[in-house]
Structure 1
């Protein structure tokens, strides 16, 4: 039997808000999520938060003395979801508690006993269960936002593990649950999922609530550009090492252009496994070549996708340490050779020259933006409006790339008014960070139109309410369908939108295709019922109770 004390007067019904208007897919998901541990995979902007709010509200009605928790991965997202769920649940903000790592431990202990609805970062929940501040048995409903993060030892996984054997209903939310079927299966295992509700943009019950969204790909070629010349120089310097590893049976690929850092790691691991103890010395003598190729292959990826300056950032520390005589003898000799020295001098000179565009992608990027904002301005003038009402988001993986894009676009102000939007991390080597306060202020300025172009790292992909965006430009491709879907989901919410992907011909072009295929494979895998779901779905309501929608 469930240890939670029910409010018997409310158990016969469950409530669903009539405002906003009922969407059939949201209602269907709620109806299952109330009684089964559910993974709800719904496209970005299609109302996952309302689903969570309704489930939490009903568990608060049924078990008013128990705790309902909403976990989100970042502090800004915790605060945003607290506000949204409070509106949907008809709950005053004073009835719910926001708990993040900024709240001291002694204060959190009192808050856990004072409130019954909580919006938290998962690390706080994990720590407070472990330290005895939060009794695991007192939690009746747990919502996991951005559930695709529930892998490895992430705090989501640890929290659900701590609730093993407890009577708690789990609702997991995501735009897409994983990059491949194995990742989706892992999330279901980690979160004890017994039922999956998955929707895509093609789902019949979702289509009527979406706006048109076009998707264009601009293929950028590097031949005849500085990036292309540097790529050719890298290939020439890598070729001798590649040939030696191929002759040793470590590599199958003879062309440096097709070698990746990850592929090198896999090749070396296979060779070590095959060699055994007898041939370990033969493999070991090639580690110098392996280390150099691993660094250069990673650098080439940075160069071709993000450009010269990100390539310099990737290589700088390695080059400096080699110049100082640190690292393997092979590595030091490679960096000190005249061929590499001339190459590196050219890289440094290009990066120091503000007139040098870091990547040929910059040209179509600027052109697309100028056309977009000029058209919007003309349309606003024809309507008699003082200013255009349009917003653009640009995504790039690295902060250095975000800063470079922002600087280039600033030269086209006031038509383009860009602002960088990056994370809070202060890890070694990271570029300028943004505090949570500055992040929220940047979003407010973007919504008000002080900035009409937000240039963001992955911090702009998940969850946060950025407002209406008409154009998304992806400066780089992501192999993960999760990230690709989240990026594209930022537009087409309240009106028609457009997504443009800037892809370097070759590897990056193939990476984008892989993400599309991965998303389709996940959809098909779930539709065919091939997931192994958790059989231990706890019953929380008393026996014989079958609530109906009020």
Structure 2
């Protein structure tokens, strides 16, 4: 007989469990309110109902998968040797053996998808398929393929999908439901009666910073080239007002030019170089305003190594050359972006209040992560970077290293974890006192996930660093309104469900 240990379910978790026992269910709960425990409860129920069956749990990253494995080992009486984490680093032959001899299998969707494609695994004996971070279940994502094969082959199929942020509109939620064969949705928002007493307070602070004059001078140079290239774009038929043009417009226009090349339209070649140059200029301004001089300087260096026509055009422009030289000059003078100075001040104050404070700083770009870590270490702050795996362009961390860093952070070896997007989803460090957004993000999903890394078992602090009159402000309000809209959609879902009952 399998059962839970060391943990007591809350009433709302038990209520949700009853629905999950009967139907494929999408469970939407605020971050830190115990989605994983519902997975454990349902897994134990299914194993007792079908004694020779197995459980499959997938999560998008190895660190998150590791957390699920630890939850099963710590909080159920399923033998430790019967719960396994499967990764691509384990040989295919050994993985096949583990499939056959384990009760609970935790993995990334990509690992399971690969093993299904190579006939290393059959899903017929699995009585539960649990999908964490289910909002990622888009049409071509591995979750979706696994769900289809699972429903077709399992003797006793049941799917549990978990997320804190299913999407900003009903269509996105419906897409997840369709892809994962969901028959019922269980939603709780932080104002619901049965959950609100468990929700910890989040103190949200916005710190607005002026872009220094030296930075403004570089921005003027880049902006002048931006306007010049937009005028050139108008000559080939682009009519949108200059002040309204954004990256999305440029990417869509670039796609149009690519299609025109197939029709042997000579202007299209010029159009592609032009839009590429504008996308790069747009990125330069974003780095300068929102990230800092170091990432901008790194980008200028990358441009010099690139062999594209767009890069050559930009580097040939005297204003871009001047901007690059001014950037280097400010770096030589040790001038820092005001966000870095303010970040250091916040971190020092938090550590002064409690030398064991745990703080997570989120930044969009790896260059910025490296820059923040370097600056904090120079100022005697114990910190570590946390980024994804290496790719062709950037160095990274192996999955084993990611898990080691999270464990060291939990154990208090250092105070500050400086992370790219990889730590946004599901990483559970319950004692995290503060989350700092080095820059706001335009996505409501990423905003919710970042904010959810604090206030899990005690009140927490969320701080947004915002450069005034920059895209930081636009991104902040974009994700804020999208999150508000998502919460209203979830609330309406609940109200509609209650009406039907």
8 A Cα contact 1:70 1:143, kept in partner? yes
Aligned to 1:417: 382
- Residue 281 of structure 1, CA deviation: 4.9
When residues 26 and 315 of structure 1 are mapped into structure 2, their CA distance, relative to the original with a 3 A threshold, is: farther
Comparing 462-471 and 434-443, the one that deviates more: 434-443
Aligned to 1:482: 445
Instruction: Confirm whether residue 348 of structure 1 aligns to residue 335 of structure 2.
Output: no
Q: TM-score, normalised by structure 2?
A: 0.90
Aligned to 1:158: 145
218, 221, 225: which one aligns with 1:233: 221
Aligned to 1:547: none
- Residue 22 of structure 1, CA deviation: 3.5
Aligned to 2:38: 51
Aligned to 1:249: 237
Gaps of 5+ in 1: 1-9, 377-387, 534-550
417, 428, 447: which one aligns with 2:392: 428
Instruction: Confirm whether residue 124 of structure 1 aligns to residue 111 of structure 2.
Output: yes
When residues 119 and 296 of structure 1 are mapped into structure 2, their CA distance, relative to the original with a 3 A threshold, is: same
Give the secondary structure class of the aligned counterpart of 1:470: strand
Distance 2:141 2:329 in 1: 42
CA offset digits 1:272-299 (Å, max 9, x no partner): 99x9999955555444332321221122
When residues 531 and 252 of structure 1 are mapped into structure 2, their CA distance, relative to the original with a 3 A threshold, is: farther
- Residue 134 of structure 1, CA deviation: 1.6
When residues 78 and 350 of structure 1 are mapped into structure 2, their CA distance, relative to the original with a 3 A threshold, is: same
163, 179, 183: which one aligns with 1:174: 163
354, 369, 372: which one aligns with 2:347: 369
When residues 331 and 460 of structure 1 are mapped into structure 2, their CA distance, relative to the original with a 3 A threshold, is: closer
- Residue 268 of structure 1, CA deviation: 5.0
Alignment of 1:60-71 (within 5 A): 60-71=47-58
- Residue 315 of structure 1, CA deviation: 4.0
Comparing 23-32 and 132-141, the one that deviates more: 132-141
Aligned to 1:382: none
317, 329, 335: which one aligns with 2:315: 335
Rg comparison, structure with higher value: 1
Aligned to 1:383: none
Distance 2:453 2:12 in 1: 20
Distance 2:169 2:63 in 1: 28
Distance 1:212 1:529 in 2: 25
Alignment of 1:130-209 (within 5 A): 130-166=117-153, 167-209=156-198
- Residue 73 of structure 1, CA deviation: 2.0
- Residue 334 of structure 1, CA deviation: 4.1
Aligned to 1:28: 15
Aligned to 2:456: 493
Distance 1:278 1:446 in 2: 55
Aligned to 1:509: 473
Distance 1:271 1:439 in 2: 41
338, 341, 354: which one aligns with 1:360: 338
Give the secondary structure class of the aligned counterpart of 1:495: coil
Distance 1:76 1:283 in 2: 45
When residues 410 and 181 of structure 1 are mapped into structure 2, their CA distance, relative to the original with a 3 A threshold, is: same
Aligned to 1:406: 373
- Residue 527 of structure 1, CA deviation: 3.5
Alignment of 1:266-277 (within 5 A): 266-267=252-253
Q: TM-score, normalised by structure 1?
A: 0.82
CA offset digits 1:368-412 (Å, max 9, x no partner): 222222233xxxxxxxxxxx3322111112222112112222233
When residues 251 and 204 of structure 1 are mapped into structure 2, their CA distance, relative to the original with a 3 A threshold, is: farther
Aligned to 2:247: 261
When residues 300 and 171 of structure 1 are mapped into structure 2, their CA distance, relative to the original with a 3 A threshold, is: same
Give the secondary structure class of the aligned counterpart of 1:137: coil
When residues 532 and 63 of structure 1 are mapped into structure 2, their CA distance, relative to the original with a 3 A threshold, is: farther
Give the secondary structure class of the aligned counterpart of 1:163: helix
How big is the alpha-carbon RMSD for the aligned residues of Structure 1 and Structure 2?
A: 2.9
8 A Cα contact 2:226 2:281, kept in partner? yes
Distance 1:309 1:532 in 2: 51
8 A Cα contact 1:471 1:491, kept in partner? yes
8 A Cα contact 1:211 1:494, kept in partner? yes
CA offset digits 1:150-190 (Å, max 9, x no partner): 12422212211222434410001112112443332222221
Instruction: Confirm whether residue 299 of structure 1 aligns to residue 293 of structure 2.
Output: no
- Residue 49 of structure 1, CA deviation: 1.0
Distance 2:399 2:145 in 1: 25
**Which protein is richer in helix relative to its size?**
2
Number of equivalences: 494
Distance 1:361 1:492 in 2: 24
Distance 1:434 1:151 in 2: 26
Give the secondary structure class of the aligned counterpart of 1:528: helix
8 A Cα contact 1:30 1:54, kept in partner? yes
8 A Cα contact 2:137 2:180, kept in partner? yes
- Residue 468 of structure 1, CA deviation: 0.4
Ranges of 4+ aligned residues in structure 1 off by more than 6 Å: 270-273, 275-279, 530-533
8 A Cα contact 1:418 1:451, kept in partner? yes
- Residue 102 of structure 1, CA deviation: 1.8
Distance 1:132 1:227 in 2: 57
- Residue 101 of structure 1, CA deviation: 1.4
